[in-house]
Structures are given as C-alpha cells and as structure tokens.
Structure 1
C-alpha cells in the first residue's frame, strides 16, 4: 500500500506543471487536509521541490532529486520495470547481484543510486561516482532459456540507447568507441558493463545485469588526476533533470530490448561509431592487433584489416588506441 506522501507526489506529478489545491488532493485521496499538508512537508524535507501558493495549492517542480515516482511517470515504454532508488550503494551492479541471490528476478528491475562507493567498470576498473552530478544505474533482466539471447548485441544496443538519449536531450556531439564506450566532446562520458548470473541447477544464464554510469555534469577537475585526460561530462550545466534522463534512457532501452537480437539498431551504431575507417590497436585474447577498422558487422563484431591485408572479425576485446585523422581524441 502506498503512503500518503507517495500518493500526493503521484497526483502532483500527473498535474505538473499545474497546481493542485489541497481540497482536490484531499478528496482524490480520501484523506484530511491536515494529512495533505503533512505529506507536502515530508516531501519537501525529503528534497522535493513543491511550490505552494495561496489560492492555487501545490505544484511539483522538477529538480535534481532522484525519484522513483518521477522516473516512472516519465516512462513511455510498454515495459514498466520495478525501480529502486538508493541514496548510496557500493555498486548498483553488486546490489542487484545480492538481490538476485536472495530471490530470482521475475520482471525487469532497475537499481539507481545517487552515489557509488565502489563503482566498477570493465576489467575491474574503478568508476568514479560522485553524488548529484552523475547517473548510476543497473538494469536486471530475467532471461528465459527458451528465448534467443546475445550478450554482445545487448551491450551494443545499450550503447545506442544511451547515445540517442544524450543526442535527444543535450546539444552535444556523441560518438561510440567499440564496443561500449560513449564519448561526448572526445571524452568518455559513459561506461557500460554487462554481467550475467547463472542458474546453479541448469548452468544456464538466468539474469543479465546491464550497468550504466553517466558523468552528467561532473566537472573535469573533480575527476581523479589519472582520469582527467580521458574522462569528461556530458554537459557543464543543464535544466534537464536526472529523472528525465533516466526515464528517457529506460524507455529507449526497453523499446530496443524487445527486438535487439535482430540487430535492427546497427545502422545507428555505425552512424555513431568513431572507429570505422580509423587505425586502431585492439587488445583481444592476449594479443594486440594493429589495423584499420573496415566496418562493424550486423552482429556487432569489429572487422579489422591488418597490414598484411588479412581481414578478421573480433567479437570481444578492447580498443586501446585510436588514431583519428581529425578531432581531438587521442587514446
């Protein structure tokens, strides 16, 4: 059963940007005006911006406070995931793993945190996760053994969903570095990490966790010195709230997830790719491959032509160096 606070917030979210009178709220929720006033006070103390005006009532004003009801209200996908918002956590991926170990997921579940104390990316690298300026979330997806599943395409489609979200909401140049780094203004602004958990009895993948970390407004000077050359934020300042970014991203993610195994997003991925046609160093399977990226296949594999003229496809690995003909990115 929802608390009066949550019910009031939902009513205000539906009415926003218009006002709701105290009488309207009291009648809609079948509670007293005093209960409404107490709920408004509680929401304000929790960090919500609720504008109060004599004769008009109350109005929700979007701010930087992470909010499950605000995120849910902004979803446009037919999928309605369970959303858990936390003030702080070691890692949203780790939190979901613990959750799954206690009870297998039966529906998509999203964990979002204001800050992470132990955020991590590929190869166990630390993901810097300060409060208020970033978005740190993990999407838990129950996997049906009878349905097709492709971890490479899922990661690739996630990168496209993130990039299209940033293109839509912010006036910034977005590029993808194979396989899952999202760059804004030649700096890595987003990290994506997919992990799987298996069913102990069957040995089959039971759940996939897709972790997404976005440096939204984190100043470059706030990053640890070792990261300042390559890491960056999406923007320095914005009126777009984190809740709006998350709602848009989750909507695009779940819309794409319904058909991602078809690779129908690959046209967008190629359009956004910063490596097609570029000379790269690719670390894969304990070796370093030097060559020119010819294309990216419909299954997300990197197609590289080496100096010998040989052309090979790589489904995993990391591009450690990109020599761009133009632009400011070096690394």
Structure 2
C-alpha cells in the first residue's frame, strides 16, 4: 500500500498553531500507553501503522490491523474549562473528528453517546480521553486516543456484528492528510464555545427520540433519548416519564431497543 505514514508530511499538512511534535511507528503496543508513559505536556501526536494492544473504552481492546486505519494519540495542554466539563471536551472531540473526515465520506457520519463514531449503524471508530497529572494531582495535559477503521473489512468474530469501516476502498485523501486535518480541527474545537460544541454534537447524535436500553450499576434500564444537557450528559426519559442525566462513568452499554 502506498499510503505510508510520514511524520514530515503530516507536519507539512497541519495548518494550525501550535505545531505538534509528530512521532510515527510501524508497530507499537498502544499509542495511548506510549503517550501516557512519556508524560507529554506540550502538543504531541503519536501514530502507529499497527497496534498490538490498542486500547478502547472501559478496558476494551481496539482492533488495529496493519495499514488499514488511523491509530493515534494527540496530547494537548489541559484547559480549565474542559477540566471542569470533561463531557464537553469529549463531545467536542467527536465533532472535530467528524468535521475532519466527513468531506471524504459519501454517507453521513454520526456519533453514539458518548464517543463512538458511527456509519450505517456500525461503529467505525472511537475516542478515549485520559489525563496526565502531576504529583499534586494537577491535570497538565489531555491524552486523546483516536481509532478509526478506514478500510478495515475483516474483523474478529467478537465484533463482526457491530464493527464497520469508513471507506469501501482506499480514498484519494491520504492518512497523512486525514491525521493533519483531525489535529487542525481538534485545535479549532478547543477555541469554540461550549454551546457551539454541544449544538454540533447533538446534530450528529444517533437515536434521539428512540428507545434504548442502558445499564446503571449493573441494572438494565429502558428509556427514550431526548438529547444532551450542558455537561454533555445523555438525557433519557424513563418509563415513568422521569428524566435522567446520565454521565459516562455511571451509565454503560447504551443500545437501541430491539423490538419485534
């Protein structure tokens, strides 16, 4: 495949400031693990052609086969507004990634709360947000993992029913260009207002006004998705017409309710 990762090309395509350090690897265990280990504080991008232990949300692995996706971690200095509202940060990241890649994807890309990239009701990517803190627990930087299935057409049996890809064949745009665009849009997002971020996120949120199942403390619940609040928590109306503000830490396994 001619679409080789090239740090010099990525840096050339980046148009925003501050410019990051860019490291590329043919193979790595995890770009996220590497970035956390090195405790970057200033803008830094780590990309791998293949991950042997790609990390996803809640301890899951992110399938990262060679030369068929974007597997990267972007470290950015922490901003107080996002420390106070981490949900808004995560929402903004999803919006930024979609804005970066949507012009090259024929169908509309959407977001499943909180941080899954969806196309045709299949997960094509995800985001993982962690932090680097000092010894006194002051957050210094956000460590943002981004995994995208670009043209991954073969998946392990465990995820075959829900995994998807963004391109049916290799697009004209290169991975280097897409990576640069994602970085640019992330930097621009960090300068946008909370309300603009939340509005853009809700426009892409799937399953609004549809019934879903979800779990809180291991117990399955049923409700109807109404949208998100000003903290990017999911608004769900339960079967007794009570409205719940779900945060990502407490609510899990949000699934569309299957009816017969």
Task: State the TM-score, normalized to the length of structure 2.
Answer: 0.92
Aligned counterpart in structure 2 of residue 309 of structure 1, from 234, 241, 247: 241
**Between structures 1 and 2, the one with greater helix share:** 1
Q: Does 1:275 align with 2:210?
A: no
**Corresponding position of 2:192:** 259
Q: State how far apart, in whole Å, the 2-side matches of 1:307 and 1:194 are.
A: 32
1:324/1:157 Cα in 2 relative to 1: closer, same or farther (>3 Å)?
A: farther
Q: State how far apart, in whole Å, the 2-side matches of 1:73 and 1:312 are.
A: 46
Q: Does 1:292 align with 2:231?
A: no
**Corresponding position of 2:15:** 76
Residues 61-88 of structure 1: CA deviation (Å, up to 9, x unaligned): xx40111111111112233111111111
Residues 176-215 of structure 1: CA deviation (Å, up to 9, x unaligned): 1100011112210011111123211x12222221100000
Bigger relative contact order (CA 8 A; separation at least 6): 2
Could you tell me how far 1:253 is from its partner in structure 2? Answer: 0.8
Residues 232-289 of structure 1: CA deviation (Å, up to 9, x unaligned): 11012112211111111111111101236x2422222111111211111122344333
Which segments of 5 or more consecutive residues in structure 2 lack a partner in the other structure? none
**Corresponding position of 2:156:** 224
Q: State how far apart, in whole Å, the 1-side matches of 2:252 and 2:100 are.
A: 24
**Corresponding position of 1:12:** none
Q: Does 1:245 align with 2:178?
A: yes
Q: Does 1:206 align with 2:140?
A: yes
Does structure 2 retain, via aligned residues, the 8 Å contact 1:166–1:172? Answer: no
Count matched residues: 255
1:247/1:263 Cα in 2 relative to 1: closer, same or farther (>3 Å)?
A: same
**Corresponding position of 1:87:** 26
Which segments of 5 or more consecutive residues in structure 1 lack a partner in the other structure? 1-46, 48-62, 326-331
Aligned counterpart in structure 2 of residue 138 of structure 1, from 73, 76, 100: 73
Aligned counterpart in structure 1 of residue 114 of structure 2, from 179, 183, 186: 179
**Corresponding position of 1:129:** 64
1:148/1:253 Cα in 2 relative to 1: closer, same or farther (>3 Å)?
A: closer
Task: State the TM-score, normalized to the length of structure 1.
Answer: 0.73
Q: State how far apart, in whole Å, the 1-side matches of 2:49 and 2:17 are.
A: 26
Q: State how far apart, in whole Å, the 1-side matches of 2:132 and 2:14 are.
A: 27
